[in-house]
Structure 1
C-alpha cells in the first residue's frame, strides 16, 4: 500500500524539523565544499602534499576534542557526568572507520579533481540505505530507493566522463582501445580506494547515528564527541606508528610544514566539519546527510571551474542534473528517524509535569 505523500509544508517540516536543523544542513554542505577546495589548493603541481597528511588529520581530531570538551564544560558549568565507559568503547568502531576515511580522502583527492571525487563518493547513498535499514530496522519506500538509484546513476555518468578523457589519450581510435581504457579506469586502484572510502563512510555514519539516537541517547552530544575524538586520536596515532612516522610527524621540521595558512584552515575547517556532523546526525539522519553531500556537487563543480580552471563537461552537467532530480524526488518523501529521542523527551516532559504537580500540591 503506497504511503500518502505529505503537503509541501509537511515535507519541509519532515526534512527540517527546526530552523536549527536547516542551519546545520547548510553549514554541513558549506564546510565540506570548502574542505575539498582547500585540500586541492594545498597540493603541489604533481598533486602531492608538502606536509604530513596523517599529522593534519590527527591535529584536526585534537582540535575537535578540545572544542567539544570546552563546549560541554561551558554548558554543564564545569560539572562532569554521564561518563559511560561502554559508550566510549563503542565509539572505537566509527573512530576506526572515520580514521581510514579521512586519510583516504587525501589519497583520493590527489587522484581525482574535486567534482569527480565528490561524485564518486555519492555511491555511498545506496550502501547507506542498506546499512540504515539493517541497523534501525526501517524499510525505505519504493520512491526513496528510486531516488537513491538515480543518484547512483549520476555517479556512473560522471565516471564515463573520466573514461572518455582517458580514451582520448589513446593514439588509435579503435573501439577495442577505447573499451580497454574504460574497463581499466572503472577497475583502477584509485576506484577501489574510493569504494573503500565509501564503505567506511556508510558504516561510520549510520553507526554514529545509532549511538547518538539509540544506544547512547542519554549521553550529552558533546560527551559523545569527546569519546569519538579520543578514540580517533588513538587510531590516527596507530596509523603514524605503523608508518614509522610517529616520532618524525611532530618534529620541528614537520610542524613547520603544517604551519601554513592553507593547512591551518584545513585543520580548523575539518574540526568544524566533525562537530557539525554530530549535530546533523542527532537532528537529521544519515540518508539526508548523503543527499547533502550530493548537493555539494553543483557548487564544487562551479568553484573548481572558477578557482582551478577545471572544465565542466557535458557528462558532468548530466550527472549534476541527475543528482539534483534524485534529491528533489527524495524531498517529496523523506526519511524520518528519531530513534529513542522522542521517547526520552517524552519521559523528561512527564517528569517535569510530575514535579510541577507535586510542587503545586505542596503549596
Structure 2
C-alpha cells in the first residue's frame, strides 16, 4: 500500500519538500477527473491554501534554492506529483470497486508486486550476505519498530481510502506533518520558525474552509 510519510520540516531538501506539496493540487485534480467526484469552489480554494500553508511552514534560509532549480527539476517535480496523485486516486478506485472485500485481502493483492520486486532486489544485490548471515542480520529493535510503524501507517491509509477518500488522506497527511514538526521540538530540539506558525495558521484555515465547502456541497 503506497502512502506518504510526513518527515519533520527541514529533513527533506528544500526544493523537494516544496515541490512535494504540489501533490495536494494534483490529487484534487485527478480526484475530480478519475473518480468524477465534485468539489465546491470553496474546497478548491481550501486546497490551494493547504498547499500554500504547507509550503510556507517549510520555508527556511535555503528556500531560495527553489528558484535556482533547473527546468529539468521543475518538469520532474510535476511528473512526480502527477504520478503520486494518480497512484493515490487509482488505489482508492480499486479499493472501493469491491467494497465487500476484506481490506487486508485488498492490501495483500495491491502490494504483492512490491514483495516480488523487493525479493528480486535482495537476490541481485544482497544474495551472498543473506545466505551467509541470514535475512534478519542487522535488524535491531528500532528497525522492527520502524517496520511496524510503516505497516500500520499503510493499513491506516488504506482504511481512509476505503471508508473516506483521498481528500481526507491529503488533509490528514498535511496535519500529520505539522504534528511531526511539533514533536520534533521535544525529541530532536527542532526550532519552529515564524514561517512555521504562519503556515500552520493557513493550514488550519484551509481545514475549516474545506469542512464548510463539504457541507455546502451536501445540501
Length-normalised TM-score, structure 2: 0.79
The verdict on how the C-alpha distance between 1:133 and 1:332 changes in structure 2, with shifts beyond 3 A counting, is same
SS of aligned partner of 2:190: coil
Post-superposition shift, 1:111?
A: 10
Larger Rg: 1
Q: Is this contact kept in 1: 2:50–2:206, CA < 8 A?
A: yes
Question: Matches of residues 20-31 of structure 1 in structure 2 within 5 Å?
Answer: none
The match for 2:23 is 124
The verdict on how the C-alpha distance between 1:136 and 1:154 changes in structure 2, with shifts beyond 3 A counting, is same
Q: Is this contact kept in 1: 2:7–2:180, CA < 8 A?
A: no
> Are 2:187 and 1:304 equivalent residues in the alignment?
no
Aligned equivalent of 1:223, options 105, 109, 130: 105
In structure 2, list runs of 5 or more residues that go unmatched. none
Quick one: distance in 2 between partners of 1:301 and 1:313?
11
Q: Is this contact kept in 2: 1:118–1:297, CA < 8 A?
A: no
Q: Is this contact kept in 1: 2:7–2:177, CA < 8 A?
A: no
> Are 2:84 and 1:201 equivalent residues in the alignment?
yes
The match for 1:113 is 11
> Are 2:154 and 1:255 equivalent residues in the alignment?
no
Q: What is the aligned length?
A: 213
Quick one: distance in 2 between partners of 1:254 and 1:189?
39
In structure 1, list runs of 5 or more residues that go unmatched. 1-94, 168-178, 336-363
Q: Is this contact kept in 2: 1:209–1:281, CA < 8 A?
A: yes
SS of aligned partner of 1:256: coil
Aligned equivalent of 2:96, options 194, 213, 220: 213
**Structure 1 residues 53-93: Cα deviation after superposition (integer angstroms, max 9, x where no partner):** xxxxxxxxxxxxxxxxxxxxxxxxxxxxxxxxxxxxxxxxx
Post-superposition shift, 1:294?
A: 1.1
Question: Matches of residues 143-292 of structure 1 in structure 2 within 5 Å?
Answer: 143-159=42-58, 161-162=59-60, 165-166=61-62, 181-184=65-68, 186=69, 198-214=81-97, 216-240=98-122, 244-247=124-127, 250-251=130-131, 252=133, 255-257=136-138, 259-292=139-172
> Are 2:37 and 1:135 equivalent residues in the alignment?
no
Quick one: distance in 1 between partners of 2:174 and 2:129?
34
**Structure 1 residues 302-357: Cα deviation after superposition (integer angstroms, max 9, x where no partner):** 1111111111111111111111111111112338xxxxxxxxxxxxxxxxxxxxxx
The verdict on how the C-alpha distance between 1:228 and 1:298 changes in structure 2, with shifts beyond 3 A counting, is same
Post-superposition shift, 1:246?
A: 4.6
The Cα RMSD (Å) is 3.5
Length-normalised TM-score, structure 1: 0.50
Quick one: distance in 2 between partners of 1:331 and 1:224?
29
The verdict on how the C-alpha distance between 1:254 and 1:234 changes in structure 2, with shifts beyond 3 A counting, is closer
Post-superposition shift, 1:200?
A: 4.0
Q: Is this contact kept in 2: 1:147–1:327, CA < 8 A?
A: yes
Post-superposition shift, 1:183?
A: 2.0
Question: Matches of residues 43-82 of structure 1 in structure 2 within 5 Å?
Answer: none
